[in-house]
Amino acid sequence: MSKNINDLQDLAIHAITKTVPADFAEASVTDVTESFRQEMKELAGDYKKYRRNKNDVFEIIEVALDYIIPKRVAQIFGQFADIRFFKVNDKPSFKVKTGYTRAKRFVTKAAASGVYETFRLDSKDIEMTMSAVGGAGLIDFERFLGGDEEIADYANALLEGIMDSVFNEVQNALKASISAAGRPTANYYSGSAYVKSEMVKLINTAKAYGNGAVIFASPEFVESMGADEIVSASTAYQPIVAPDDIEKIHNTGYIGVFRGCPVVVLPQSFTDESNTAKVIDPQYAYIFPTGGEKVVKLGFEGETVVKDWDNRDNSMELQAYKKFGVAITSYHNWCTYRNTNLA
């Protein structure tokens, strides 16, 4: 092996994220991918090599995923979620501020069984229930050796599967909080169309608990919002639309700000290749206050585990799993808009 395992772990990170290491002078992403493929070919160029070196292969992918996952999670969830990483067998818990709003504080916790419990918070610590998620990719050595498939592609598929699972659990916990007993009716609106005045009401509610508010929604929901007409077209006046909205919609398809609140478009994906079942429910938008305590608590336990599995048809799968948990610590200071017209 021309490189040690630490070098390969670093190379794997760049191959999966499609970036170029600083010490690869004038190299391209294609060069990095090919370099990683050649190193993997030396480690696992045939089944005997793979069987002899598979633990090194697994470790390379595990380290790469454990480097990438925190950054990806922070990038997507960091604006509204408090994220922590725990060691194996640690007691995953979060401290929550109590005080004058204590009577309003409840917890929606995602359990391993998929049941979301709501209960009154009587202490400053939330013990989080962890569950494991995983995915698998079918390895075809002939295609791998021929350059048609890359180990980095398998690792990327596993990464996307883990992130989709996190998305799913976060939105399930948020949805479960909507129907919690005692949740203020002013914090939720549901209708068969997007109504700007109703979104403004929810924004004002969330703003009362922070320095401002931010809207997180699916691409479909944000598209339904359209440009913000400051003066309605239903009046005798010509509607006024901010030039920034027009340019943003022209460049990205979505607005970037609504009534002073940033609009964050959550990355949509599908649960399978039929492109029918979406990971993020298009109907929902969530409005969180900014500058205060974050509503969502997201915890990860231990390292990512990668292993292989031989199927009965002699094909082989590369599998990975990760343990994480989700909790919603309050429901009085954030809002939900549901557009039921978005199937």
Calculate the alpha carbon distances from 173 to 13, 153, 273 in Å.
Answer: 31, 30, 26
Q: Is the pLDDT of residue 19 over 70?
A: yes
Average pLDDT over residues 318-324: 83
Cβ count near 288 (within 10 Å):
24
CB 175 within 8 A of CB 183: no
Average pLDDT over residues 194-208: 93
List, for residues 130-140, the tens digit of each pLDDT value.
888 776 677 66
What pTM value is reported for the model? Answer: 0.75
User: Which single residue is written with the structure tokens 């995923």?
Assistant: 65
pLDDT at 154: 77
Average pLDDT over residues 146-162: 76
Among the residue ranges 95-99, 159-163, 237-241, the one predicted with the least confidence is: 95-99
- Residues 6 or more apart from 124 whose CB is under 8 A from it? 95, 96, 97, 98
List, for residues 20-45, the tens digit of each pLDDT value.
888 777 788 888 888 888 888 888 77
Calculate the alpha carbon distances from 94 to 111, 123, 235 in Å.
Answer: 16, 11, 50
Average pLDDT over residues 101-111: 45
95-109, 130-144, 329-343 — which one is most confidently predicted on average? 329-343
Dist. CA 137–CA 306, nearest whole Å:
11
Average pLDDT over residues 84-106: 66
Q: Is the pLDDT of residue 301 over 70?
A: yes
List, for residues 207-254, the tens digit of each pLDDT value.
998 889 999 998 899 999 888 777 655 556 666 777 787 778 777 778
Helix, strand and coil content of the chain, in percent to the nearest 5, comes to 35, 25, 35
H helices present in 216-322, as ranges: 219-225, 243-252
Beta strands in 196-283 (DSSP E): 212-217, 257-258, 261-265
Please count the helices (runs of H) and the strands (runs of E) in the chain.
8, 14
